[in-house]
Structure 1
Amino acid sequence: MSAALHTIQSAAGNDGQHSVLIFHLFGIFLGVTSFFYLLVLIFLFWAILRRRREQSREPALRRSLVVWVVIISLTLGGLTLATWFTDRGLAQAGDRPGVEITLIGHQWWWEVRYENGDPSRIVHTANELHLPVGVPVQISLRSDDVIHSLWIPNLAGKQDLIPGRVTDLSLLPLHEGIYRAQCAEYCGMQHTNMALDVTVESPEAFNLWRTQQLASPAPPTTPLAQEGQTYFTRGPCASCHNVAGTTASGQVAPDLSHVASRRSIAAGTLPMNHQNLANWIADPQAAKPGNNMPVVPLSPVQLNAITAYLETLR
């Protein structure tokens, strides 16, 4: 993948229109408040060091008070206008979204649906977002258990996922790259291991990815992977996980139709590779204690076959 990997989560970047607008507003407030803070210090030292005059300067004091009231009022008015324009910019960034996504928080993983008017063309995936650069995106957020919070600091501010309610997050990615999103609301034992890979790519690459996700994965061609498919679809795995084009149609755990194309396992807990995948299947509690995936007794032959099968799901 040619997209740059952004390992630093920073809200001070310029990778999303929302983060740019908010950071500019922060810079305005920081500059204005710093100026007045220094001004107050200068006057304070001047008042301490100057020689007090004998005669009363009440009229001059009143004039200076009026001047400062006017200055402060104009400054506060300017900051209010800057905030208003920023708020308008944030609202307009979500107008006419080119991509609509439903994101559902679970303990401790993310369910992702790319919506479409045709139900047969809805993309189901998990623990990853693909976004086209320069295209407004609208994400509808909800939780099926406790309060979570989606935060993609490089692209936008955070938004809570609240059980029984639907909240929205609009964003406009400005640069291609791979970013890390994080649950930003404590949600239990594995809160810190509830991450989300966000890949921003060209519209052409995004459309290609979306088309690939709509297709069922190719059937396995090697005897080992074919054996693994049999174990998977006829065993307990299929009662929780879905794999398009097979009899595995579980709905309570991440969709695995194209799991091998993802960068990580278990919501960003482990990098995707053969050993990590095998270890996760064998003992998910070792890597992510408290998660809802049970330990399924498997022989070494079964484990090797299921791992080989999952590695074909691209």
Structure 2
Amino acid sequence: MLTVLVPGGTGQLGRDLAALSSPEAEITAPGSAELDLTSTGAVVDAVSTLAEGARATGRTPVVINAAAYTAVDAAETDEQRAFAVNADGPRVLAAVCSSRRVPLVHVSTDYVFPGDAERPYEPEDDLGPRSAYGRTKAAGEDAVLGSGAQAWIVRTAWVYGLGGTNFVETMRRLESERETLSVVDDQRGSPTWSAELAAGLLELAGFIAGGRAPERRVLHCTGGGETTWYGFARAIFEELGADPERVRPCTTEEFPRPAPRPAYSVLSNVSWAEAGLTPLRPWREALSAYFAAARR
């Protein structure tokens, strides 16, 4: 029996976690207006209330941190704010979790890696972020792991969800606005549906509460398989009933962005499976399920 606090509850992942609330796992998912991780007092109050309430009812308290500054390009000129949310906030959260003996699951990103690998990244591979966003998320990982808290890092990638600002929804909009569009075909990753990621994170929380916590403190969890943004876009067009030939491939150089993107950010899910956690479905299968859910 769990009582879960989800900072970042109004984001696409936070909303999907909140939707999983049940008698077995009571989930509270405040947005930043209700729980600002940059406010030490607010964090102390929220985690203390979680711990006291859970233990009074015989439940195990767990925090799943879905709060993050995710505006990758904006972070290049607003790194101080990104650092406050992605590094300072998790540092405070982890310290309070440590003092209140509350387990913490912290969500991180593929952007902590340099993106120049030739095989899927394992959790133990050296970090080397090349963007401000990646640097702040790597700093957040260090803060959590060095806090003394009972904590786990879960890295994921290419996340999309219903009602979110993400690649799938952008492609859905552009399909109705443009006859053709060019999409980068030299960046590879693993699309991940936030609803499936949320279920995996809750499963991990249950493992922790039930005495089956993974020994490894850093895990990777993404949709199965890999593709490029171009391949992802073509699949989205197929789901929309549109001609995928309307999507044209281009290079990263032809589509410059303020923040450098990893050329290769596929994460190995071996650590997740070895912990006994349920692997996420292949990305293409999950995408079809996402569109089926969107039509309901």
Q: TM-score range by the shorter chain?
A: under 0.3
Which is bigger in relative contact order (C-alpha 8 A, separation at least 6)? 2
Q: TM-score with structure 1 length normalisation?
A: 0.22
Higher Rg: 1
